[in-house]
Amino acid sequence: MSQFIVKGGGRLRGETAIQGAKNSVLPILAAALLTADQVELRGCPRLRDVDASVRILEGLGCTARWEGTNTLVVNARDMNAWSIPDRLCREMRSSAIFLGSILARCGQAELSYPGGCELGPRPIDLHLSGLRDLGAEIDDTGGVLHCKASHLCGREIVLSLPSVGATENLMLAACGASGVTTIANAAREPEIVDLQNFLIACGARVRGAGSSTVCIECPGPLHGCTYTVMPDRIVAATYLCAAASAGGEVFLRGAREEHLSTVTAVLREAGCSILADEAGVGCCCQNRLSAVRPVRTAPYPGFPTDAQAILMAALLKSQGATVFEENMFENRYRHVDELTRMGANIRVSGRAAVVSGVECLHGAPVRCTDLRGGAALCVAALAAEGETSVREISHIDRGYEDLAGDLQALGASVLRTGD
Ligand code: EPZ
């Protein structure tokens, strides 16, 4: 069983490049089904979730091959299936993102109902209602989604909440619809903009991504393209919080502050100095951090739920108390018990968690409960006296290409063992 061994107590100093964004490349891989031409994705991170997506594409009759470390070449010319087997659906919770593009390409789609995950139930009712609005007939009884759409017809769809996945799925389905599709109350995350830019590179007419209204029209078949995936804003936030946690000075090449301004604003409030230019984002933390005003997670451009655990870990030794409010997922405080093992003082009550800064943390054996909770354990371990063993790091491998290597480049003592 692989694990990280983290020796805490040292300050960070160094720089590293930020990988491509997991939450951008996954919908873009689904979008590759929309064209029978070759798609070359540059800056594609080597992640467990990307591997799972590749297996899904290959199961549908597509080809996918790595060229060099981070270029993935996908060709859906010979796509010959429209159903995703249950075992592949279970490998990656976000396999639902393939529904819209399979439907657009094949006129039918079948996949097992994606289950919940460590964060709690992950419903897709908004995805399904939007696809039905476009003309799809969906039988979602019995745990398998049977979808048919002899003809998808563009129209206005109003989302009851700005779901990232639903926005992406409907953008992809709309590429197979006649006329114009308008998605109102769309999610505004940067990954939506990246998907728009990919679809435009393939010849689609898409506009409005990043705002609450996205319009999509595909007058003809899409062609292939070469596309570079945006940098991962949550990975960048992780390393900024690592510097805040351990102290020191780091530079993250390729990070874009405009994608994580709510995170950098909180880190500045806590006492870090953050500098950003066209090359990346730097963070310098010399003194003990201060507690900050309440941190409430919200859809973009609000504070990202994916950075909640990571920021919490950075504030464990801050002066004062910080209130967190997790509004996006029901079960996103699973890392708290593990942080408590390291001496953290955190009280959870429903959606709220109060972090009272302590003078010191101590290394301990801890285990990852989920992707971002696992990263938070590593951020906290950097500030703990002594050694921390972080087990079940397969969770971390879903979203971080090389967390240990990146943190080592920033001057941390993190060793991966047991592979
Ligand atoms: C995406 O998940 C990200 N995953 C998540 O990142 C991220 O936390 C989330 O957006 C919010 O930013 C990927 O992009 C692969 P949502 P997604 O649909 O699309 C409810 C990570 O760590 N909802 O915006 O599933 C849902 O229950 C992961 O990288 C419905 O009720 O998020 C949740 O409470 C974790 N019905 C809220 O909306 C629906 O049909 C936000 O979900 C869809 C969603």
The tens place of each residue's pLDDT in the chain, 419 residues long, gives: 899 999 999 999 999 999 999 999 999 999 999 999 999 999 999 999 999 999 999 999 999 999 999 999 999 999 999 999 999 998 887 899 999 999 999 999 999 987 667 888 889 999 999 999 999 999 988 889 999 999 999 999 999 999 999 999 999 999 999 999 999 999 999 999 999 999 999 999 999 999 999 999 999 999 999 999 999 999 999 999 999 999 999 999 999 999 999 999 999 999 999 999 999 999 999 999 999 999 999 999 999 999 999 999 999 999 999 999 999 999 999 999 999 999 999 999 999 999 999 999 999 999 999 999 999 999 999 999 999 999 999 999 999 999 999 999 999 999 999 98
> What is the rounded CA–CA span in Å between residue 392 and residue 384?
20
> 83-89 — which CB contacts under 8 Å span 24+ positions?
83/109, 83/110, 83/111, 84/56, 84/59, 84/60, 84/110, 84/111, 84/112, 85/59, 86/112, 86/144, 88/52, 88/55, 88/56, 88/59, 89/114
The pLDDT, as a whole number, for residue 361 is: 98
Q: Which two tokens stand for residue 333?
A: 């405080």
Contacts of 361 by beta carbon, 8 Å cutoff, 6+ apart: 8, 316, 317, 342, 343, 344, 380, 383, 384, 385
What's at 381, amino acid-wise?
A
> What is the rounded CA–CA span in Å between residue 291 and residue 202?
46
> What is the rounded CA–CA span in Å between residue 235 and residue 398?
12
**Predicted TM-score of the model (pTM):** 0.98
Ligand 1 centroid vs 192 CA: distance in angstroms? 13
Best of 25, 95, 164, 396 for a ligand 1 pocket test (most atoms within 8 Å of beta carbon): 164
Q: Which atom of ligand 1 is nearest to the CA of 372?
A: 22
What's at 417, amino acid-wise?
T
> What is the rounded CA–CA span in Å between residue 220 and residue 178?
9
Ligand 1 centroid vs 119 CA: distance in angstroms? 10
Q: Which atom of ligand 1 is nearest to the CA of 121?
A: 27
The pLDDT, as a whole number, for residue 191 is: 98
Contact by Cβ (8 Å): 195, 28: yes
The pLDDT, as a whole number, for residue 118 is: 80
Q: Which atom of ligand 1 is nearest to the CA of 26?
A: 15
The pLDDT, as a whole number, for residue 91 is: 86
> What is the rounded CA–CA span in Å between residue 27 and residue 22?
9
Among 286, 176, 187, which Cα is nearest to 222's? 176
| Cα 105 to Cα 60, 188, 191, 257, distances in angstroms | 12, 26, 22, 36
Q: Which residues line ligand 1 (CB under 6 A)?
A: 22-23, 26, 94, 122-127, 161, 163-166, 187, 305-306, 328-329, 371-372, 399
pLDDT 10s digits, 105-134: 999 999 998 766 788 888 999 999 999 999
Contact by Cβ (8 Å): 246, 10: yes
Q: Which two tokens stand for residue 317?
A: 């030794």
Ligand 1 centroid vs 165 CA: distance in angstroms? 6
Known catalytic residues are 117
Contacts of 146 by beta carbon, 8 Å cutoff, 6+ apart: 110, 138, 139, 140
Best of 48, 122, 326 for a ligand 1 pocket test (most atoms within 8 Å of beta carbon): 122
What's at 138, amino acid-wise?
I
